[in-house]
């Protein structure tokens, strides 16, 4: 199937999940995850109306952002080393993968050279998986408190990559937990912090994520096909 047809199908599935959950479809935004895929595929998706694109690797992002001509909005969703933050400065609308204070500090430092603070999400490691990035749920409040004091960042919500389960229903409790954590944080009245965004759900579980409150679903394979690496 073409990228345009895939996108159309995904939007139908997003709309159906919103109907089931009694949500406005406009409250869910589709982030097309284009890692490892060529700029031409991004252009093709953009021609089909896709606006938000997520990338995982700084070097790959920079190379593609230079050549993509379509007016798109870039998000960064991958593991991020502090020494590479400077290459993202001013180029990405949202960084989903902020998992530690030192990274937030560097983002703040870089974005203070610009007029507006960086929009970031705090990444939570819900399954306490050693192989995955993210603050554990217990450390989240402390991280949020520290990050909220930084002048160059604005916390817009939370992001999670829950453990993979063959049956997406098994992931539902993790999505629900992320929403609960966001509600708890929102109640603390921290400065520069709002819980407007929940970035959760990927190709095989985004409908469950939407039913549990996702505002940004990160979908790669279902749009662009399988990745080679």
Please, what is the minimum distance in Å from the beta carbon of residue 223 to ligand PLP?
A: 8
Query: Residue 122 or 190: which CB sits closer to ligand PLP?
Result: 122
Please, what is the minimum distance in Å from the beta carbon of residue 78 to ligand PLP?
A: 6
Query: Residue 133 or 184: which CB sits closer to ligand PLP?
Result: 133
Rounded alpha-carbon distances, angstroms, from residue 144 to 60, 119, 127, 157, 181: 29, 14, 19, 10, 11
Does residue number 72 form part of the binding site for ligand PLP (CB under 6 A)?
A: no
3 state SS for the chain: CCHHHHHHHHHHHHHHHHHHHCCCHHHCEEEEECCCCCHHHHHHHHHCCCCEEEECCHHHHHHHHHHCCCCCEEEECCCCCHHHHHHCCCCCCEEEEECCHHHHHHHHHHHCCCCCCEEEEEEECCCCCCCCCCECHHHHHHHHHHHCCCCCEEEEEEEECCCCCCCHHHHHHHHHHHHHHHHHHHCCCCCCEEEEEEECCCCCCHHHHHHCCCCEEEECHHHHCCCCC
Binding track, positions 42-71, relative to ligand PLP; x by CB under 6 A: --------------x---------------
**Could you count the other beta carbons within 10 Å of the beta carbon of residue 118?**
26
Q: Which stretch binds ligand PLP (CB under 6 A): 63-71, 82-90, 163-171, 215-223?
A: 215-223
Query: Residue 96 or 154: which CB sits closer to ligand PLP?
Result: 96
Site for ligand PLP in 116-175 (CB under 6 A): 161
CB contact at 8 A, 117 and 110: no
Site for ligand PLP in 78-107 (CB under 6 A): none
Site for ligand PLP in 3-42 (CB under 6 A): 33, 35
Please, what is the minimum distance in Å from the beta carbon of residue 220 to ligand PLP?
A: 3
Q: Which stretch binds ligand PLP (CB under 6 A): 45-53, 112-120, 137-145, 219-227?
A: 219-227
Please, what is the minimum distance in Å from the beta carbon of residue 206 to ligand PLP?
A: 8
Q: Which stretch binds ligand PLP (CB under 6 A): 83-91, 162-170, 187-195, 218-226?
A: 218-226
| Site residues, ligand PLP (CB under 6 A) | 33, 35, 56, 77, 161, 202-203, 218-222
């Amino acid at each position: 199937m073409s990228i345009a047809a895939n996108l159309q199908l995904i939007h139908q599935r997003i709309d159906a999940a919103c109907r089931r959950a009694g949500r406005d479809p406009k409250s869910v935004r589709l982030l097309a995850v284009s890692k490892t895929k060529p700029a031409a595929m991004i252009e093709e998706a953009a021609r089909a109306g896709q606006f938000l694109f997520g990338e995982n690797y700084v070097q790959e992002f920079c190379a593609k952002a230079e050549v993509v001509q379509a007016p798109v909005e870039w998000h960064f969703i991958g593991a991020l080393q502090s020494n590479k933050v400077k290459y993202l400065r001013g180029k990405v609308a949202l960084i989903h993968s902020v998992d530690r204070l030192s990274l937030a500090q560097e983002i703040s430092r870089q974005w203070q050279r610009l007029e507006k603070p960086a929009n970031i999400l705090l990444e939570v490691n819900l399954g306490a998986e050693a192989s995955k990035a993210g603050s554990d749920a217990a450390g989240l409040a402390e991280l949020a408190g520290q990050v909220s004091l930084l002048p160059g960042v604005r916390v817009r919500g939370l992001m999670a990559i829950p453990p993979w389960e063959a049956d997406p229903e098994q992931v539902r409790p993790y999505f629900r937990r992320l929403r609960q954590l966001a509600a708890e944080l929102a109640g603390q009245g921290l400065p520069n912090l709002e819980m407007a965004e929940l970035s959760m759900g990927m190709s095989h579980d985004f409908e469950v994520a939407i039913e549990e409150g996702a505002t940004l679903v990160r979908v790669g394979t279902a749009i662009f096909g399988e990745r080679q690496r």
